[in-house]
Amino acid sequence: MTQSHGYAAQDATTPLTPFRFTRRELHEHDVHIEIQWCGVCHSDIHFTRNEWGDAIYPCVPGHEIIGTVKAVGSAVTKFKPGDLVGVGVIVDSDRTCPSCKAGEEQYCEGGTTLTYGQKDKYGDMTQGGYSNNIVTDEHFVHRVSPKLNPAGVAPLLCAGITTYSPLRHWKVGPNKKVGIIGLGGLGHMGLKFSHSFGAHTVQFTTSESKIADAKRLGADDVVISKDRAAMKKEANSFDFILDTVSAPHDIDPYLEALRRDGTYCQVGLPEKPPVINPGNLLFKRRSWSGSIIGGMRETQEMLDYCAEKGITADVEVIRIQEINEAFERVVKADVKYRFAIDMSSLGA
Ligand code: NAP
Ligand code: ZN
């Protein structure tokens, strides 16, 4: 077995604390990665606090992982020791269903295995990246360019691909008007990508203090969503709106902002489902949709795109010992715009 240690939630209400555990021996397609950086996603908080109702403890969260390959199994072809690599939200899928064959493993009909908080096919609980190492099948490991700041690359493994994938799927680009709701970890990456793809991009935020940053990050316009008059001015004008909000909120004012045939895409996953007025869909043939992370091929495409364009997340670097304060700040929407944990702070 591989000895591992990290920070885990032991239940839904107490702080994360140091935790020792084991990971499986290397199987032939496995890669052993020493973890250097891990981003802090709001999903880590929803999950460890059992806000989605499916937590299993103890749980080491973290699915925005950057590290160096230390060892590879006998059949590994993609990686060698010393390579800089990334692991995101899923570490397995059935590989045989139509979604997997199409390279959309995140929609696997047989069910995906999440990087933490689930039993894998060997019967072990998966544990995430707030730890010193991980053992994962090479199919779910990505090449990372050493040209970019690795702390800022870590959040690309979840926040990056979760926003890149729907923006590509709905063909966001020049001559499109796109809205991004919420300027947090996902939102600021959605803003960077939409701007980079050439769309006219409007940032919706509840935080007046973020207006200047939104413009710096690529927003052509910023709308304070609590300002009803400002929201009304946007009516019937958007081709696509991406909702990255982590808490329950009113969706109807944004549906009204879509033009005929426009699409509202949900990537935020608050603990309570929203209620909408169907009239806002049918009178303008608008669509209300959702999207989850991205497939392995598209995740690599996104990482390569970021390396080519010099795109990374804006991060606040923390030590693992600061993780509980960091969670509180994420909940208060007070992070600019993703925490990245320097895993060397974990020690031996
Ligand atoms: P985050 O960094 O906390 O950002 C969420 C943003 O939402 C905040 O910065 C804030 O932006 C806005 N917000 C927060 N509370 C609000 C409220 N009560 N009303 C209106 N706006 C509010 O979170 P994240 O890590 O980006 O994750 C966002 C959501 O996506 C979470 O629910 C997470 O679980 C989910 N997620 C989904 C996927 C997927 O594959 N679909 C992947 C990762 C995460 P402003 O200050 O600008 O208003
Ligand atoms: Zn995430």
Contact between 223 and 208 under an 8 Å Cβ cutoff? The reply is: no
pLDDT of residue 15: 98
Query: Can you list the positions of beta strands (E) in the chain?
Result: 2-8, 17-23, 30-40, 65-72, 84-87, 90-92, 113-114, 133-137, 141-143, 177-181, 200-205, 221-224, 238-243, 258-266, 287-290, 315-319, 338-342
Structure confidence at residue 201 (pLDDT): 98
Strands 17-23 and 30-40, by their bridges, are: unpaired
**Predicted local distance difference test score (pLDDT) of residue 127:** 98
Ligand 1 site, CB within 6 A: 41-43, 46, 158-159, 162, 182-187, 205-207, 210, 244-247, 249, 267-270, 292-293, 330, 333
Q: In the structure, what pLDDT confidence band is assigned to residue 342 with cuts at 50, 70 and 90?
A: very high
Which residue, by CA, sits nearest to atom 19 of ligand 1?
Answer: 249
Decide if pLDDT at 348 tops 90: no
Q: What is the pLDDT of residues 59-69, one digit of tens each?
A: 999 999 999 99
Mutate to test the pocket of ligand 1, among 116, 209, 246, 337 (most ligand atoms within 8 A of CB): 246
User: Among 220, 210, 186, which residue's Cα sits nearest to residue 89?
Assistant: 186
| Closest CA to ligand 1's atom 4 | 184
Task: Please provide the average confidence, as pLDDT, over all residues in the chain.
Answer: 97
Report whether 143 contacts 300 (CB < 8 A): yes
Whether the pTM exceeds 0.85: the reply is yes
